[in-house]
Amino acid sequence: MSGRLLRLVCTAAVAVGTALAPLPAAAVPEPEPRERSVADLVTDLQRLYREAEEATETYNATEEKLKAKRAEVARLDTQLSKVRLSLHDSRGAAGRLARQQYQNTTTISPYVRLLLARDPQHALDQGHVIGQLARERAVTVGRLTGTEHRADELARRARTALDDQLTLAARQKRERDAVQEKLTDVEELLASLTAEQLTRLAEFEEKGVEKAQEELTTSGALGEEDRKPTRKGETALRYARRQLGKPYEWGAEGPRTYDCSGLTSEAWAHAGTPIPRTSQAQWARLPRIPLKNLRPGDLVIYFPKATHVAMYMGRGKVIEAPRTGERIKISPIASHPLLGAVRPDRRAQPQTNRTRNRDDQPPATEAR
């Protein structure tokens, strides 16, 4: 086919394609995005807060493991230093024995020396002394060998503990980044809302809490008796009350800021009863009790994964460090989905004649 004919065929094909091509449709305006309902916003916001708190509790658990591992490394290092000092002393003693052995070397056996001695009794006495020295030498050599083995074992354990510490530190950094990411999601959602939406959001959430609280109290699940705390429970509750108004901060254990489990663990530590650091560990390891048996000082656990905790103060109220951006406050017990309750001092008996302390009086105005 000639070049001219080829150009004609191509031109015709393009023309036909153009003729058969569909005409552009009239521009259809995209629908306006539908404004999200307050219920949807509350659901999303609560989900983000819950994810942030889950990430926080994971971080806290790793932080506790890291603290324990740091203490183990320090303890092993101290033991290793002592053993190495003892090893140095043992090696010095062994060296002195070796020199003495070399200087006292003879080809005459103790039996022959006894036969040739002018004073056999003196020779026997010398033999006793020599035997005693030999036993001391054996002890010294045995101590040296044992100390060497001990030093090697401690060095191995110290290296393993240090490797574990480095692994935990790397994990903690990843978990810290995860918390920051979740909190950034919360901030972005809140920043996208108008002042009117934020107001409606707060009102909707408050009405939901009021409804849940009413349903819980009228169901009889909390029981009717107003129980008294134990002495330690009252001390823990008094500590928690003194923290009212302080800011929430994830990973914090006081004294200026707290997260939810930081507040409860510090309060009970102040009362002389150390408890696990995280809400998940508190739920897993502390004795569980029915809600109807709650008494002030007990801990109330929330959400299916036990990622939030508050301290019961009686009359259907709890003290809690709620979430980022809020302060420690008194809230209805039904402020979050309940999982159950635990009692740090289950075997202790409540006080029978309780004198009400000024710290036990509720403040003039209570947060919801």
**Per-residue pLDDT tens for 3-25?**
443 343 344 444 434 444 444 54
The rounded distance, in Å, linking the Cα atoms of 309 and 312 is: 10
What's the pLDDT tens digit per position in 282-322? 999 999 999 999 999 999 999 999 999 999 999 999 999 99
What pLDDT does residue 119 have? Answer: 56
Of the ranges 31-35, 80-84, 106-110, 169-173, which is most confident?
Answer: 169-173
**What pLDDT band is residue 233 in, cutting at 50, 70 and 90?**
very high
* Phi-psi label, residue 241: left if phi above 0, alpha if psi -120 to 50, beta otherwise: alpha
What pLDDT does residue 361 have? Answer: 45
What's the pLDDT tens digit per position in 244-262? 999 999 889 999 999 999 9
Higher pLDDT, 60 or 235: 235
